[in-house]
Amino acid sequence: MKRILVTGGAGYIGSHTAKCLAQAGYTPIVYDNLSNGHRWAVRFGPFVEGDLADRALLLDTLREHQIDAVMHFAAYAYVGESMRNPLKYFRNNTANTITLLDAMQEADVQHIVFSSTCATYGVPETVPIDERESQEPINPYGESKLFVERMLRWSGEAYGLRWAALRYFNAAGADPDGEIGEVRDPETHLIPLAVQAGLGQRPPLKVFGTDYPTPDGTAVRDYIHVMDLGAAHIRALEYLAEGGDSIALNLGTGDGYSVRQVLDAVGDALGHPVPADDAPRRAGDPPALIADAALAHKVLQWQPAYSSLDTIVSTAAAWHKQHGAG
């Protein structure tokens, strides 16, 4: 399998994975409507500007480029927005994936690696979280991704589709070469917000919640470097090509860092403290989300290479120093 359709490949994780694919000898064909992605991020293969709702264009793309497999990143991913406008998320993330799977079936493309999320777990009963944890999303974004996981399972049963659903924890960092990085409007991720606040590119950071049952009272998360996510997608693709069974896997490090620890790391990278103000908790934010990624290590023979907090922060800081807040 050498020609890979990368839906959402102009976005943050998709563009970094496209670079990983190109470095590994694959040809990434990016399919993106540029609603959230960026044309400048498409640098590693052909680009088809199109929407997932356009079945005819999808089918033409799959056939014209002789696609061997799909990596599916295209989705809306703002939790708060999904609470305000759930149908937008079910239409784009779920219904449009039906269109993609239908086109894949007609074009006889039988392998897909899906960008899922730890948001499918909701508020976990145990931490670290392994794949046996019950999936009870607490927002439409997580629900829309869980629906797709279920569609993949039933498509496998009915049509022989081979799939891997990769449940990310907190994607972070930027390409160490500085070619691409994280640009989002509005920005909602902690590390770019902290870096930009530290660089004076935005107002002081708001620390949402200082009374969690954690060592310093702030929320704890598992951060995984975006290039390590890209490498895991390639290993998942190879696993399916080698005849591996369809599977869902967590992608994380197993290490949790609090908001205050992240701020300290960003301050160390920049050489001065990050301005920050305490604020009340946000509804629906669990105290801690940490991955048990042992199954991914075993099945994919994958280990994160860039996901120390210092490396994540230093690559993000280098990107935002060069490119500002957008």
CA distances from 160 to 5, 73, 155 (A): 19, 21, 7
Sign of CA dihedral 79, 81, 84, 89: negative
302 within 8 A of 223, measured Cβ to Cβ: no
Angle CA(78)–CA(83)–CA(85) in degrees, nearest 5? 85
203 preceded by cis ω (within 30°)?
no
C-alpha 114/C-alpha 149 separation (Å) is 8
Residue 141's pLDDT is 95
The conformation of residue 121, written as its DSSP 8-state character, comes to G
Residue 1's pLDDT is 66
Residue 325's pLDDT is 59
322's CB contacts (< 8 A; 6+ apart) are: 178
Residue 80's pLDDT is 87
C-alpha 122/C-alpha 124 separation (Å) is 6
pTM of the model as a whole:
0.96
Instruction: Name which of 26, 37, 21, 25 is nearest 9 in CA terms.
Output: 37
Kindly state the helix (H) or strand (E) to which residue 115 belongs, with its residue range. Answer: strand 111-117
pLDDT in tens, the chain (326 residues): 699 999 999 999 999 999 999 999 999 999 999 999 999 999 999 999 999 999 999 999 999 999 999 999 999 999 889 999 999 999 999 999 999 999 999 999 999 999 999 999 998 999 999 999 999 999 999 999 999 999 999 999 999 999 999 999 999 999 999 999 999 888 999 999 999 999 999 999 999 999 999 999 999 999 999 999 999 999 999 999 999 999 999 999 999 999 999 999 999 999 999 999 999 998 778 889 999 999 999 999 999 999 999 999 999 999 999 987 55
Instruction: Name which of 22, 17, 109 is nearest 70 in CA terms.
Output: 109
Catalytic residue list: 141
**Bridge partners, 170 (sequence order):** 223
Q: Which residue has the tokens 């993106």?
A: 32
Exposed/middle/buried for residue 298 (C-beta within 10 Å: 0-12, 13-18, 19+): exposed
C-alpha 270/C-alpha 106 separation (Å) is 52
90's CB contacts (< 8 A; 6+ apart) are: 140, 143, 144, 147
Residue 326's pLDDT is 58
The helix/strand/coil state of 251 is strand
